[in-house]
């Protein structure tokens, strides 16, 4: 009596089909998420190229029927956008430079050297990440006045650097702790001093972390509004772009297209910085990136 032959389908084919279906669903989800995330930027771009009638009446959500490129020329030439833009660029770059210059040697000292108050100093600087800007606003203003910095761009640069210093130190600390101590020992055997080890070995190794900190600190100072409004909100020549957009809206309430053009101009540097250095940010998310840098 012959046995019945059973047909067995390979389990691998079933798993492949299930995996292919899951990938398809996930891809569709990612595309939908990307469209939903990008639509506000696209809508703001359309908004900046319309007149008031299209914005509020005839075409509030679609592409412009008549492209108003003159909104950008008007925003740039008539509404002090170059002044606000230049202030934001100067403050952002100076804040990044001061933050990195202060954070790098401090973190090297608390992570690679041995001294009495090492752990207490690291804990003290880490506490800065848990203090909101609103809680220190009055002491900051009083300190700026005492130092005689009111009425200058340094009234923003020094507070911004102090606020971002804790974050920069924590990022650098993780990278420094991931570097093998054998590198320092080899440098010491070759006759390198502490300063030579720091500048020629440690600083190049944490390049991915440095780039990441530069991006985040620049964007934080570029978008900061609360402290800037308190310190330089009444000084027209020192206003940054976020302040300029606010007062632009209050002073020119009828020219909404030009205000949209100003918001696009204010958003471009942040978008360009992240687009150009996004790969470095991804590399910096791993401790191994510090050694590979």
DSSP, residue by residue, 86-147: HHHHHHHHHHHHHHHHHHHHHHHHHHHS--TTHHHHHHHHHGGGGS-GGGGHHHHHHHHHHT
pLDDT at residue 292, rounded to an integer:
44
Q: Tell me: do 99 and 216 sit in the same domain.
A: yes
Q: Identify whether 268 is part of a domain.
A: yes
Q: Do both 161 and 28 map to the same domain?
A: no
- Dihedrals phi, psi of 286, to nearest 5 degrees: -115, 145
SS3 290: helix
Residue span of the structural domain in which 250 resides: 70-292
In angstroms, how far is CA 55 from the centroid of its own chain?
31
CB 138 within 8 Å of CB 227: no
Cα 166 from chain centroid (whole Å)? 15
pLDDT for res 289: 46
In a domain, 4, yes or no: no
Task: Give the pLDDT score at 97.
Answer: 95
**Cα separation, 79 vs 250, whole angstroms:** 12
Q: Tell me the CATH number at 239.
A: 1.10.3720.10
Give which of 97, 293, 290, 292 is closest to 176, Cα–Cα: 290
The pair of structure tokens assigned to 135 is 């809680």
Predicted confidence at residue 100, as pLDDT, reads 95
Counting every residue, how long is the chain? 293
Residue with tokens 């507070």: 159
Q: Are residues 44 and 87 in the same domain?
A: no
Number of domains in the chain: 2
Q: What is the pLDDT of residue 157?
A: 94
Inter-residue contact 241 to 222 (CB < 8 Å): yes
Residue 54 is assigned to a structural domain of this protein:
no
Q: Residue-wise pLDDT tens for the chain (293 aa)?
A: 445 555 555 556 666 676 787 888 888 999 999 888 888 888 888 988 988 888 888 888 888 888 888 888 888 887 788 898 899 999 999 999 999 999 999 999 888 888 888 888 888 888 888 888 888 889 999 999 999 988 889 999 999 999 999 999 998 998 888 888 888 888 888 888 888 888 888 888 888 889 889 988 998 999 898 899 999 888 888 899 888 877 665 554 567 888 888 888 888 887 887 777 767 666 655 544 444 44
Residue 123 has what pLDDT?
Answer: 86
Same-domain check for residues 94 and 23: no
């Amino acid at each position: 009596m012959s046995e019945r032959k059973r047909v067995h389908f390979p389990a691998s084919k079933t798993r492949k089909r299930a995996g292919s279906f899951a990938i398809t669903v996930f891809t569709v989800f990612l595309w939908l998420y990307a469209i939903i995330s990008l639509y506000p930027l696209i809508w703001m771009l359309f908004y900046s190229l319309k007149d008031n009638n299209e914005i509020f009446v005839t075409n509030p959500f679609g592409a412009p029927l008549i492209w108003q490129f003159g909104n950008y020329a008007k925003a740039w030439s008539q509404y002090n956008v170059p002044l606000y833009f230049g202030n934001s660029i100067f403050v952002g770059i100076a804040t990044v430079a001061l933050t990195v210059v202060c954070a790098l040697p401090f973190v090297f000292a608390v992570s690679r050297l041995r001294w009495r108050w090492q752990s207490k100093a690291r804990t003290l600087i880490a506490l800065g990440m848990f203090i909101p800007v609103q809680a220190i606003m009055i002491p900051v203003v009083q300190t700026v006045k005492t130092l005689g910095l009111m009425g200058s761009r340094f009234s923003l640069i020094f507070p911004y650097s102090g606020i971002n210093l804790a974050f920069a130190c924590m990022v650098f600390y993780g990278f420094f702790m991931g570097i093998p101590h054998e590198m320092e020992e080899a440098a010491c055997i070759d006759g390198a001093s502490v300063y030579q080890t720091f500048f020629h070995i440690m600083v190049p190794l944490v390049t991915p972390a440095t780039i990441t900190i530069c991006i985040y600190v620049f964007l934080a100072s570029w978008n900061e509004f609360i402290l800037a409004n308190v310190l330089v909100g009444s000084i027209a020549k020192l206003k940054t772009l976020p302040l300029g957009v606010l007062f632009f809206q209050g002073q020119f309430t009828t020219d909404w297209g030009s205000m949209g053009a100003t918001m696009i101009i204010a958003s471009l540097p942040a978008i360009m910085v992240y687009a150009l250095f996004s790969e470095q940010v991804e590399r910096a998310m791993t401790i191994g990136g510090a050694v590979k840098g």
